Every structure is written in C-alpha cells, then in structure tokens.
Structure 1
Amino acid sequence: MYLEIITPDKRVYEGDVTSAQFPGINGGFEVLNNHAPLISALGNGTVKITPTTGAQVFFNIDGGVVEVQNNKIIVLAEAVTA
C-alpha cells in the first residue's frame, strides 16, 4: 500500500507500508493491504506506520481525515509531530 500524510504546510510522509493504525474519533483502527474503501474522521492521537523496508514509525496528529482506496491511503491532518 502507498501512504501519504499531508498537512496544510507540507507533505510529512510518503511511501509504501504494510499496515497503518489510526486514531479514529470513535476508536482506533488499522488498515491493511486490500482494505475496503473508507473515509473516516481522525481524532488527536498517534498514527503507527509499518513501512515495507524498516522499523515502525510514529506520528502524533491533531485530528484530520483519512481516505483509503485501491491500496492508497491519504491522510489530511491538521498538524503532525514526529
């Protein structure tokens, strides 16, 4: 899967991942390869990414929206800290 995390100021992350966990407004959820299409609001919390080529990466976000479609994940976040 391909993941992009974008804020109003910059692109924070882009690359291939095997999984991504998100802080949904009604609870956390995980996206894996071939996930059904999805649009969800995100709350404040930690995004946990497992890249295909390395150790897990964590980002703290201040809310936003995630879209999943055709093995591509786009996160539009208010603000992100690593």
Structure 2
Amino acid sequence: MTLEIVSPEAKLFSGQVTSVTVPGVDGEFQMLNHHAAIVSILTKGDVKIEAVNFAATKEGEAKFFVGNDKKHHLTINSGTLEMKDNKIIILVD
C-alpha cells in the first residue's frame, strides 16, 4: 500500500509500506494492505511505519527515528488520516 505524510512545511514521506500504526483519538490502531476505507482524527503520539525500503524525503529525514520495535517513528502533535483504495494520506501538525 502507498503512504504519503504531509506537514504544513513539506512532504515528509511518500512510498510503499507494509503497515502503519497511528495514534487515534480512541487509541492506537494499525492499517494493513487492503484495509477498509477510513477517515480519522489523530492525536499526539507516534506514527509507526513498517516498510521494506524506507526512504523519507529530504525535508523529512531528520523527523523520523527507529524505535525499539524496528519501525520508523514520526512524533506528531495532531493530524488527520484518510485511507482509500490502498492509499493512506496523513496530514500532520
């Protein structure tokens, strides 16, 4: 599935991923390939990305870190997410 993460300043990531875990208002949830369509508000926490070949954009490189779970993490204050047709778009603040 395709993931795109965009902040007000720049696109932080765009690429193929195997899973994405996000901090939802009612708790953390994960999306895998062919997840049902969803729109959600995100709260403060980490977006966790699992990808075979992870490559953040030049603008996003310094914002990601690898956690103990071996996933790439992006700490956010808030955001919105839309997943439809195997494409996830996350707008972060």
Stretches of structure 1 lacking an aligned partner (at least 5 in a row) = none
- Name the counterpart of 1:67: 82
TM-score (normalised: structure 1): 0.90
Stretches of structure 2 lacking an aligned partner (at least 5 in a row) = 55-69
Q: Would you say how many aligned residue pairs link Structure 1 and Structure 2?
A: 78
Task: Indicate whether 1:77 and 2:88 are aligned.
Answer: no
Give runs of aligned pairs for residues 1-82 of structure 1, distance below 5 A. 1-53=1-53, 56-78=71-93
What is the percentage of aligned positions where both structures have the same residue? 40
SS, match of residue 44 in structure 2: strand
TM-score (normalised: structure 2): 0.80
- Which whole-Å CA distance do the structure 1 matches of 2:33 and 2:52 have between them? 12
Structure having the higher Rg: 2
CA RMSD of aligned residues (A): 1.1
CA distances 1:21-57 after superposition (whole Å, capped 9, x unpaired): 0000110000000000000000000011001335521
- Which whole-Å CA distance do the structure 2 matches of 1:52 and 1:17 have between them? 7
